[in-house]
Amino acid sequence: MRPLTLWRLLVRCGILAVILFVVVIVALKFGAVPVSLYGLGRDLVSVLLRQTNAISSDYGMIISDIRLPRIILAIFVGASLSVAGTSFQALLRNPLADPYVLGVSSGAALGAVLALIAEPHLAIPPVFAALFTPLGAFLGAAATITAVYFLGRREGQIDSGTLLLAGIISASFLSAIIMFLMTTLTGRDLHGMTFWLMGDLSISLQQNLRWVLGIGFVVATGAIYTTAADLNLLLAGEKEAMHLGVDVPRVRLVVYIAASILTGLAVSVSGVIGYVGLLVPHVMRLIFGSDHRILIPTAAFGGAIALVIADTLARTVVAPNELPVGAMTALAGAPLFIYLLRRRLA
Amino acid sequence: MSGATRTSPSSAAQHSVDASRASGEIRLSVEQVSYAYSPNPSQAPLFTLEASSFQARAGEIVAVLGPNASGKSTLLKLIAGALEPLSGRVLLDGFVTHTLSPRMRAQRIAMVQQESPLLFPSRAWEFVLQGRHPYGRSLRFETERDVAIARNALAQVGAEHLSDRWMDQISGGEKQRVILARALAQQPLLLLLDEPTLHLDIGAQVDLLETLRRLSAENRYTVVVVTHELNLAAEYSDQVVLLQRGKSLRVGSPAAVYQRELLEQVFQTPLSVELGSSGRPRVSVLTGT
């Protein structure tokens, strides 16, 4: 018997934090404009010491103003999607559940688009204007998971196949509505739109939106983490969990709201990115086991690492052009997913 | 053994738990509970359980018998507090079971169900440690005490050697023992089992019931077991509750309930009932008549 201890949890998170750090450094180095490791190190120190005027390298601005914010965004988005996916998989008892497959991401995207359309017509103080899109995305995500949850039930029990079908159909339906709205109402450039729908981390954020993203991530992930032990028991089913003292309706409510916040925030700043929320939890489960007290924090790190790598590849493989990062995660994720699926069946 | 594994009294509720364990008073009191199930409120109920009553002391084993769809599992869920009765109530140590919080309930009542598959594999010891869940706060790591209790639970069902095995790689009988160990790790007053011998061979069945008999005597659990095994129920239970189509037909000792005409009428099969060498009734099916 080797029950989980705080020490073991911290060691594993520490290792992943080191890996994330290395990945971030590499991601800073690579891009359309080459930067030497030495210049990078010197500039990073300057940035950390807030002596931005001391940045000597010609490319210092690229690093501190373009690549670093983008990488930090990738970290938050990757971690959010991965944590949301982990909790959906446990709560819905479905290894294929994640915000993308369940249509929650599309719901969030529709919410964000509706907020964007409505915003000019509403008198919103500038301070809150930045929050309006994430709020719309959150409401869209929450509405979608509620709908999919009820559509996916049969005779009071969640049915895996029905649930996935409900999710996939909702996703395509919602995407169609988004396309319809964008073309008829705004006449906006469809290229940028499709880019965003496929996931795009190049958006630069306003200062207060960064705060919302950071605080929202910490609060929502923390809320999900308080249910970690309950999620372990839910793996055996809602009835079993209830007999072991889990307040199932409470856990369900906490996880749905928190996961909707995570998905809503991620989608409102980066569009619809698939596979991160689906695959990272599985990979982490293979490495660290299925105890959610360790799985949720490691999935957060794993999602961050995966999305930083994916975004770096999206920036560099066709440089100076860019791929949408969602296309990159799908390119790498779909084959990996098939592999894991076959492995499970074998 | 049981004394060493009990929790140190930490609350008033815990005191009453310990008090009841020591005495031979009535612990479980099922008072005229009834239930009706209908898929939607406008329709007539599909299934009803008429008012049923029985009482059980600490250390007693009660078997709930009856043909399929007679309401056995419903009665068990009502006792567990998982369903709210239409009328009547179930008292466990003075607490109405369905009004307790899930956590309080899980500290008093352990349920062994027909096992449901795990979504992701876990090891036997992880599974047994889950029985400690109702005693911890949400983010707590298991203490050495929890580990000791889980280890002891595995030992009590003779499954220490399974501790490091994966749950999906052990036999049905072994799995049933580990599930029982998890229930013991909850340190309950009341142990509920829903057809625990299903899918087990006869040796494993006898083994499981022997274990139950011994544990209920040692740890003073009150045990309620739903089963189809008439002979095993007669051999191992102190009381029998016989159900038919949602009606509680008779409650009493096996000898009192096992009347040939009654059983034949309930199970719709020609049967013979004899007194076995142990002094308990024995049922055999008469075929070819």
Count Cβ–Cβ pairs < 8 Å, chain A vs chain B: 92
Residue B116 has its nearest CB partner, among A228, A232, A237, at: A237
A285 near B CB under 8 A = yes
Cβ-contact B133, A246 below 8 angstroms: yes
Cis preceding linkage at A134, omega within 30: no
Return the CA Rg of chain A.
Answer: 20
Distance CA B40, CA B56 (A): 34
In which band, very low, low, confident or very high, does the pLDDT at B241 lie, cut at 50, 70 and 90? very high
Q: What is the pLDDT of residue A240?
A: 86
**pLDDT tens digits, chain A, 346 residues: what are they?**
777 888 889 999 999 999 999 999 888 887 766 667 776 677 667 666 666 565 555 566 777 777 888 899 999 999 999 999 999 999 888 888 889 999 999 999 999 888 888 877 777 777 777 788 889 999 999 999 999 988 888 777 777 788 889 999 999 999 899 888 877 766 555 566 677 777 888 777 777 788 888 999 999 999 999 999 999 888 888 888 888 999 999 999 999 999 999 999 999 888 899 899 999 999 999 899 888 999 999 999 999 999 999 999 988 888 778 888 888 999 888 888 888 777 764 4
Has residue B88 got a pLDDT over 70? Answer: yes
Quickly list DSSP for A101-166: TTTHHHHHHHHHHHHHHHGGGS---HHHHHHHHHHHHHHHHHHHHHHHHHHTEETTEE-HHHHHHH
Instruction: Enumerate residues 6+ apart whose C-beta is below 8 A from A326.
Output: A197, A198, A199, A200, A271, A272, A273, A274
Interchain proximity A290–B122, CB inside 8 Å: yes
Query: What does the longest C-alpha to C-alpha distance in chain B come to?
Result: 63
Q: What is the pLDDT of residue A50?
A: 64
SS3 A217: helix
Instruction: Quickly count helices (H) and strands (E) in chain B.
Output: 11, 12
In which band, very low, low, confident or very high, does the pLDDT at B4 lie, cut at 50, 70 and 90? very low
Q: Which residues of B217-250 are buried (b: 16+ CB within 10 A; e: fewer)?
A: eebbbbbbbbbebbebbbbbbbbbbbbbebbbbb
Please provide residue B62's backbone torsions phi and psi, each rounded to the nearest 5 degrees: -110, 130
Shortest CA gap B158–chain A (Å)? 16
Contacting residues of B for A254, CB less than 8 Å apart:
none
Interchain proximity A229–B140, CB inside 8 Å: yes
Interchain proximity B141–A3, CB inside 8 Å: yes
Identify which has the larger pLDDT, A263 or B196: A263
Has residue B5 got a pLDDT over 60? Answer: no
Count CB atoms within 10 A of the CB of residue A69.
Answer: 16
Residue A244 has its nearest CB partner, among B106, B118, B146, at: B106
Contacting residues of A for B126, CB less than 8 Å apart:
291
Q: Which amino acid is at B256?
A: A
Interchain proximity A3–B120, CB inside 8 Å: no
Nearest chain B residue to A292, by CA: B139
DSSP A300: H
Nearest chain A residue to B121, by CA: A290
Which candidate, A289, A287, A277, places its Cα nearest to that of A235?
A289
Residue B150 has its nearest CB partner, among A1, A247, A290, at: A1
Identify which has the larger pLDDT, A146 or B121: A146
Crossing angle of helices A292-316 and A325-345, in 10° steps, is: 130
Interface test with A, best of B76, B84, B109, B120 (most A CBs within 10 A): B120
Interchain proximity A93–B119, CB inside 8 Å: yes
Show the tokens assigned to A31: 């891009």
The domain limits of chain B are 2-285
pTM, entire model = 0.85
Contacting residues of A for B144, CB less than 8 Å apart:
none
Q: What is the pLDDT of residue B3?
A: 39
Distance CA A255, CA A216 (A): 14
Distance CA B180, CA B187 (A): 11
Show the tokens assigned to A337: 């997913």
Contacting residues of B for A297, CB less than 8 Å apart:
none
Q: What is the pLDDT of residue A181?
A: 83
Q: What is the CATH number of domain A73-345?
A: 1.10.3470.10
Please state whether B60 falls in left (phi above 0), alpha (psi between -120 and 50) or beta.
Answer: beta
Interchain proximity A239–B116, CB inside 8 Å: yes
Interface test with A, best of B104, B141, B152, B175 (most A CBs within 10 A): B141
**Angle of CA points B10, B16, B20, to nearest 5°:** 130
Has residue B15 got a pLDDT over 60? Answer: no
Show the tokens assigned to A252: 């369900």
Interface test with A, best of B139, B143, B193 (most A CBs within 10 A): B139
Instruction: Tell me the mean pLDDT in the region B30-42.
Output: 81
Nearest chain A residue to B191, by CA: A243
Residue B131 has its nearest CB partner, among A5, A237, A244, at: A244
A120 near B CB under 8 A = no
Chain B residues within 8 angstroms (CB to CB) of chain A: 80, 82, 101-107, 109-111, 113, 116, 118-122, 125-126, 129-131, 133-134, 136, 138-142, 146-147, 150-151, 163-164, 186
Contacting residues of B for A255, CB less than 8 Å apart:
none
- In the CATH hierarchy, which top-level class contains the domain B2-285? alpha beta
Return the CA Rg of chain B.
Answer: 19
Residue B142 has its nearest CB partner, among A3, A228, A236, at: A3
Count CB atoms within 10 A of the CB of residue B43.
Answer: 8
Nearest chain A residue to B145, by CA: A3
Distance CA A265, CA A271 (A): 10
Distance CA A114, CA A129 (A): 14
Q: What is the pLDDT of residue B7?
A: 40
Crossing angle of helices A292-316 and A207-225, in 10° steps, is: 150
Distance CA A31, CA A62 (A): 10
Cβ-contact A303, A80 below 8 angstroms: yes
